Amino acid sequence: MVVLATSDFLWFVDQALDAMVGIVGQLGDESVNRRPAVDGTAIAGANSAYAILTHCLGVMEFWGGRMVAGRAIERDRLAEFTAVGTVADLSDRVTVARRRLVADLAEAEDDTELRHPSQPEDADLPYATKGGVLVHILEELYQHLGQMEITRDLLLELPGPD
């Protein structure tokens, strides 16, 4: 059985977060809170880059903090998708979240069992171990990185590949 090393996991987390922070920096304060539209029509269900990255920080906090480290977490998941703010504020929150995730993982370094049981609705998913939860965190970060790339391209009206 191959085990995901904490340093490997954190390298991938850092790659995703660095790319996300780069995108919010590209958008700047004037566009980071905008939701994309096509031909002036809002895209149903689309989120701003600020909201997407805020959601990713919520994912890290809940799954890393509660499920892996056992910290008490109060999360308002719906509010993550309506969050607004500045690039500087969000970048600072990313720095704090990275440090917190490192501390959470160190807290449970040798423990493969989750500190809290998975939710009943997640019973068929591989969230029963710390490794499964860490892979889920990566899944969420990279899925939402792709969404942020599309959001950025739409907001900045970048041309697609020919």
Instruction: Enumerate the domain spans of the chain.
Output: 6-156
What gap in Å lies between CA 44 and CA 153, rounded to an integer? 17
Q: What pLDDT does residue 112 have? A: 58
- Using 50, 70 and 90 to split pLDDT, how confident is the model at 115? low
Give the global pTM: 0.87
Q: Is the pLDDT of residue 81 over 90?
A: yes
Mean pLDDT across the stretch 4-25?
Answer: 93
Nearest-10 crossing angle of helices 6-31, 130-156: 30
Q: What pLDDT does residue 153 have? A: 93
Question: By the 8 A CB rule, do 127 and 35 touch?
Answer: no
Q: What pLDDT does residue 1 have? A: 41
Give the tens place of pLDDT for each residue, 21-77.
Answer: 999 999 999 999 999 988 888 899 999 999 999 999 999 999 999 988 888 999 999
Per CATH, the architecture of 6-156 is what?
Answer: Up-down Bundle (1.20)
Question: By the 8 A CB rule, do 122 and 63 touch?
Answer: no
What gap in Å lies between CA 18 and CA 59, rounded to an integer? 16
Give the tens place of pLDDT for each residue, 128-153.
Answer: 678 888 999 999 999 999 999 999 99
